[in-house]
Structure 1
């Protein structure tokens, strides 16, 4: 299959076309598109990366707390109930307000809830705090300002903050755990309190500095705002400040079977992703390490997945291709699970293969997300489709909380076998999605595309427009 592009390059080596034709606005003469997007990167990516890093850290630090004698099986599960239910509503509210207000507000409250998590006095209190943590973390997946062919590096940097959170969480927990007994608080309480306090403080800073919609960004000139709005509108339709979403929009989008495939692509990977996120310390502890050494040994696999993810993303953007880079890490993951199911007497090999497990899982997740979501044209389809993929996919998080049982230690055969089955589901859904967009692109190439649609009608159709080409 040929690699797909959004249009030919201009004399500056930059694209001035979209999925619907030439952009109506030229890049301001005092800059170039590449320089302008680099400025956007520096203003946007640090915020969303730190945002998701802290969100994921507060979400999974309960796994680190388990190694300091906190047992919470049901508490792992209850987080996902509001997280799944409120994913689409939260994304709609994100568009109704602004990213600065909504995301920083949610961030402050899930930081506050994390602090309360460290102060609970009974199991019921822990369940309540985990429920509200899931509620406030729903929708923590802000939209991007980029075209499809330039988005993967940005998505992977943002998404791979989960790997940084895993590595950072292990290091931080190993240090905070030494506070065990200070002011008569257990080490696991200090993990929640300190990490939650950090999140709440950063949220306050973000409220005054977080970038919003392009037309509300004061660090852009009026010409630059107009140009960025034009390039986004050409691919997505009207943005969140201009085109409000309704629940009727959501129901319309959900009639498309590809939206469902996108959910299963992500769903199958969330099971191994959260299995590792929640139970890595539990698994590594069976290699006969103490509590502190377990935390320290949990860092290298996360670091390996972070580096691999960014390398894959760079090559994927360079080739302007997604499918191969989604399927190849899945093959690595399947092979890694096969080894973990087979070898039980060599902890050195098992620990080494855990690196391949994280590389395969967290290397493919941002590719799957970017490939599917950036193929959704039109503001409504992208907003609803992306929320659906993340919300439905996180059903896998509920499954993950029940498959690595202490009674199955040290081999965890059941857990690895279940992970293997769900990875195969993701691979099957990804293959079907690839086939569907390939067939659709071929069909559109053979049929007339000029059917008298207005610009507004065409952008509202999004990727359902006869002129739209899906990216492989």
Structure 2
């Protein structure tokens, strides 16, 4: 744990770090298929149904890890006791002048209002909502989609493992390359194109093998989401705006959880045209918004401009840094 946290603070790889969390979802999906297969044979043990055993076996590690993180994970680099004073200073400097700091106000009302009123907030929120529908669709219906290929029961559960394993490497690989090249929009669009191809295959192809390949592609939605979230965090400054922007965008996107379950009704089996075309269109809409953000904010993952004004998204303008060749980003 200490080694990992030290690496976390001493490296400037925002997307790669987030991809580790997102890729863990793919790993969970892979193991989830295996666990679900095994738990299906536990139904009736100790008077509990299979789904009850699933909640217990998967819930206990999550609760224990949550307790560990509460005590082990510091709020800011400045409070990381496992770093030396020199390392804490380096980590804080490496995060840049606009990153949240331990000396920031706990809550700045004006900053929060400016953040929510900014066009960036809603552009990012709508885009993440579009991606979240794809994430939820795969999470909810991967076994159902695979069942439509002719596999049933435990076989359908086990066949969710390879797409999730494939997604694990694609998610981390795309995020790692985004960090190395210091570029976000193209990597977001690359992930979006892969996912859209998957839904297109599921919508128009009938051969089970090709359709199964489409499942591999839609499992990689987080390959687009992680560079997107890294871009989101790079467009705000200060603790309040960072918290409102990231938390608000994610909260808005969670409403997709009320939409996705209705996209793949059993009556649409085996093609699920409504669900596949809807997800295809939503990811396509997200890609179009990303192109607009690319035009307005530039492609670099790091700000190359001097921000004049107060913290937040909605106050101030940027001044081009003549020492850099990248496009000017706007904080308006």
- In 1, Cα distance between equivalents of 2:3 and 2:192: 29
The match for 2:325 is: none
- In 2, Cα distance between equivalents of 1:400 and 1:284: 17
The match for 2:37 is: 174
The yes-or-no answer on 1:255 pairing with 2:107 is: no
> 8 Å contact 2:236–2:312 — kept in the other structure?
no
TM-score (norm 2): 0.86
The match for 1:422 is: 282
1:312-461 equivalent positions in 2, closer than 5 A? 312-344=174-206, 346-359=207-220, 361-438=221-298
- In 1, Cα distance between equivalents of 2:31 and 2:123: 33
| Residues matched between the structures, number | 319
The match for 1:43 is: 5
- In 1, Cα distance between equivalents of 2:142 and 2:282: 18
How far the C-alpha of 1:163 sits from its partner, in A, is 1.2
1:31-430 equivalent positions in 2, closer than 5 A? 42-43=4-5, 150-232=13-95, 234-236=97-99, 238-240=100-102, 242-344=104-206, 346-359=207-220, 361-430=221-290
> 8 Å contact 2:130–2:286 — kept in the other structure?
yes
> 8 Å contact 1:378–1:463 — kept in the other structure?
no
TM-score (norm 1): 0.62
- In 2, Cα distance between equivalents of 1:273 and 1:283: 14
Structure 1: runs of 5 or more not aligned: 1-38, 46-143
Name which of structure 1's ranges 361-370 and 331-340 shifts more when overlaid on structure 2.
331-340
- In 1, Cα distance between equivalents of 2:228 and 2:252: 14
- Deviation string 1:407-455 (CA, Å, 9 cap, x unpaired) is 211211111111112112201211111111249xxxx98xxx79xx6xx
Name which of structure 1's ranges 209-218 and 295-304 shifts more when overlaid on structure 2.
209-218
How far the C-alpha of 1:294 sits from its partner, in A, is 1.6
> 8 Å contact 1:327–1:427 — kept in the other structure?
yes
- In 2, Cα distance between equivalents of 1:198 and 1:205: 11
- Deviation string 1:8-65 (CA, Å, 9 cap, x unpaired) is xxxxxxxxxxxxxxxxxxxxxxxxxxxxxxx9871278xxxxxxxxxxxxxxxxxxxx
Change in Cα spacing, 1:44 to 1:279, as seen in structure 2 (3 Å) is farther
Name which of structure 1's ranges 396-405 and 372-381 shifts more when overlaid on structure 2.
372-381
How far the C-alpha of 1:235 sits from its partner, in A, is 2.8
- Deviation string 1:373-427 (CA, Å, 9 cap, x unpaired) is 2232333322211112211122222211111111211211111111112112201
Structure 2: runs of 5 or more not aligned: 321-327
Change in Cα spacing, 1:314 to 1:206, as seen in structure 2 (3 Å) is closer
Name which of structure 1's ranges 283-292 and 318-327 shifts more when overlaid on structure 2.
283-292
The CA RMSD over aligned residues, in Å, is 2.9
